[in-house]
Chains A and B, each alone.
Chain A
Amino acid sequence: MRMHKVLTIGKRDYIATVRTKAFLFGLVVAPVIFGGGSIAMSFFKSKPDLNDRHIAIIDRTGVVADALVNAAKAKNERELFDKKTHQQIVPRYVFEVIAPDGDSKDQLLALSGRVRRKEVAAFLDIGKDALLPQKPVEEEQPFGSATKTDPATRVSYYTNAGGIDELRGWLTGPINDGVRLARLARLGVDIKSNTGLMATVPVEGLSLVERDEKTGEIREARKRSELEGFFVPFAVAMILAMIVMVGSAPMLQNVTQDKSQRVVETLLGAATPLELMSGKVLGAVGVSVTSSLLYVVAGVLAVNALGIAGLLPLSIIPWFYAYLLADVVMLCAYAAALGACCSTPQDAQNLAIVLLMPCLIPMFMLVTVLRQPNGAMATVMSLVPPFTPILMLLRQANTEGVPAWQPWVGLAGVSLFAAATVWAASRIFRVAILMQGKPPKLTEMARWAWRG
């Protein structure tokens, strides 16, 4: 292979791509698409609905409602206003205790009507035996409830609120506190003079203790947040996926365009198919490295600005680039082969989803892998070459880390797979690039890759 030809083709493709509006647009739009959701969420979180939340309670025990009313009062006093600006920042919770009328179905229907008319946000029905331990029952439950417990021991929460219901999340604590206090009172515990009975004990997340290599002293464990365990690996993997997709997706259109504009034959008069494809892949790698530098620099500046720089394990940056290069080479060669089989831009559009599969499949698995980064499924999937770059990096960015051999085996696997993809793609490319008409079948492509 003559390197000057590869470099010349790569240089042209690189310049042609980074000068396009589509590339510049993609640089801005991709992070907005990926990060926009969380930005929008935090924006809307900062603009809550401040109308009072009225909640009706039917307390069939007669002793739990007071605890809820008191807890709401305490919450309102504590959280209703911002301490600095004195502006209301959360809605007020207002409880309305309603006496049970005996015929629970009519009363439940009436209260449901009030919820529909938005007079109350929700209502609670605290069963008469809620203070007793839960007893499983065999018979069918009312209203299709899935919980197979005695209805009299349950607390039922009725609402038509959709999505994430903060009220319900908050209620769980005070209801259980109320129930436990009532149980203690029944046992004769003086709960009035023992005010701290239900006080919660914070559980602090800490990293492992380690010895300072320089001084030999045992360092104190540092505080760990959810950010460290979830956000950082998630963000690192998403950035990699994003850059790989931004770098490799244009290759499909690029090759199809060269083919449909009849540029290819002139190029093939001066370079072999392998040189042509390698040059195009090189150009795409350049594009990816350019966008990655931008994202990495922006990311480092952002975590510094947010004061969470310590959460970003800088040691994974070399791995990030190793995986990035292997992934872009693999996907670009794959895209070039697919592009060579297309005759029109429409054909290429139809195949775009097939091209992005090696990125999309691991992205669907991010949360599952993060739950058990060293579980059997996470380990196996991160060693499957097309998925290695994103999933192995995700695992490496997790504080739990991975056994030292796995990244090396993963990288070796993905490098070999990328080389095999380039080899097979160049054979398909050579046969398909001058063909016109109906795109070939998968079996034909496999035959070309095998026989050349």
Chain B
Amino acid sequence: MDAVQISHVTRTFGDVTAVDDLSLTVPEGSIYGFIGPNGSGKTTTMRMIVNIFYPDRGEIRLFGEGTPQNSTDLIGYLPEERGLYQKMTVRALLEFYGELRSGRNVKREVESWLEKLDLAARAADKVETFSKGMSQKVQFIAAVIPEPKLLILDEPFSGLDPVSAEAIRSAILDLRRRGVTVILSTHDMNLAETMCDYIFMIFRGRKVLDGTLSSIQDQYGDDTIRVSTPGGFPAVEHLPGVEQIRDLGQVQELRLARGTDPQEVLRTLLAQARVTGFSLTKPSLHDIFMRIAGPAAAEVNHAHA
């Protein structure tokens, strides 16, 4: 069964169309990554699934025939704009959110999650005494108590240190193993590549990518090579047949012009530098993102407009 089925949904705010005729299917038990530039419509889409915004047109179905209106108890939601009652203790706050969603006592789950995210020792402290990272962990727990069928996380890793990020990442994967469907938005393309089963990109309110990472990469072909040379970026700067270079520091990612033979590029490179690494790859998600929404794409789009 599909956890979420969005059919031809449009949502406008005054003259601005935030989401334009969007259709999307999220399979149950998957992790679905929402990517897109700021203001592209990710949060609006999530808010419509959570029933905070209502679509102007189209419909959203959850777990078959459910609607956002009658399914809020099945959904855990971590909004992008984090906010907690500052004067409450962490334990009281989490019990409140859990009770609000489930209508039952959730003390046991609260203790278990506090333990899991290493917050048990601070459970009796007020939220106002917490750092940003710790508050974010608390907010994450608030979204997963009691365990939802669908977990929607709007940029769950922003502002987290690596240790906290790893704890949240591990908790998300654990929930997915238990059958929870996860939708998360992120600006971290590496994280989307490694964590998500499916990736959906929205740009200016319209869907521009949707599928598994490999299916998306297949759409863009094998036009990317990665090379390492002791000379770094200057060594590859003027290679013929290279359309764009992305300098990653120790590695340079080269996008080849249509019809260019990678072997020819390698030969030219070997003739002018010592090559310590060479691999033929599919374009990264970052590269694809930039092709769609980067400054160059904006120029093209502007020209087409």
Contact = CB atoms under 8 A, between A and B. Distances in A.
Interface of A: 2, 4-5, 8-9, 12, 16, 258, 261-272, 434
B83 A266 contact: yes
A262 B52 CA distance: 14
B142 A5 contact: no
A266 B101 CA distance: 11
A59 to B, nearest CB: 74
B96 interface: yes
A265 B83 contact: yes
Interface stretch (B72-80, B241-249, B285-293): B72-80
Contact of A8 (B76, B81, B87, B96): B96
B137 to A, nearest CB: 14
Given A269-B77, A270-B100, A271-B72, A263 B87 contact: no
Interface string B69-93: 1001101110101111111100000
Contacts of A264: 83
B84 A269 contact: no
Nearest to B51: A272
B155 interface: no
Contact of B77 (A9, A262, A266): A266
Given A265-B81, A266-B77, A271 B86 contact: no
Contacts of A272: 51, 69, 72
A262 B51 contact: no
Contacts, number: 66
B100 A5 contact: yes
Contact of B100 (A16, A265, A271, A434): A271
Contacts of B69: 272
Interface string B123-151: 00000000000000001001100000000
Given A16-B85, A262-B83, A263-B83, A269 B96 contact: no
| 6 smallest beta-carbon distances between A and B, as pairs | A262-B83, A269-B77, A4-B103, A265-B79, A263-B83, A262-B81
Contacts of A258: 83
B63 interface: no
Interface bracket on B:
20 to 34
A5 B96 contact: no
B85 A269 contact: no
B99 interface: yes
B82 A8 contact: no
Contacts of A267: 100
Contact of A12 (B50, B83, B84, B96): B96
A25 B235 CA distance: 74
Interface in B141-168: 142-143, 152
Contact of B75 (A9, A261, A266, A269): A269
A266 B47 CA distance: 11
19 contacts: A5-B100, A8-B96, A8-B100, A8-B103, A12-B85, A16-B85, A16-B88, A262-B82, A263-B84, A265-B79, A266-B77, A266-B97, A266-B142, A267-B100, A268-B52, A269-B50, A269-B75, A269-B143, A269-B152
A9 B100 contact: yes
Contacts of A12: 85, 96
A2 B131 CA distance: 34
Given A267-B100, A270-B101, 11 more contacts: A8-B96, A8-B103, A12-B85, A16-B88, A261-B84, A263-B83, A263-B85, A266-B82, A266-B143, A269-B75, A269-B76
A16 B84 CA distance: 13
A24 to B, nearest CB: 15
Contacts of B103: 2, 4-5, 8
In this complex, the member of B76, B82, B85 whose beta carbon has the largest number of chain A beta carbons within 10 angstroms is B85
Contacts of B82: 262, 266
Given A8-B99, A270-B97, A270-B101, A261 B83 contact: yes
Contact of A270 (B72, B83, B88): B72
A305 to B, nearest CB: 38
A3 B69 CA distance: 15
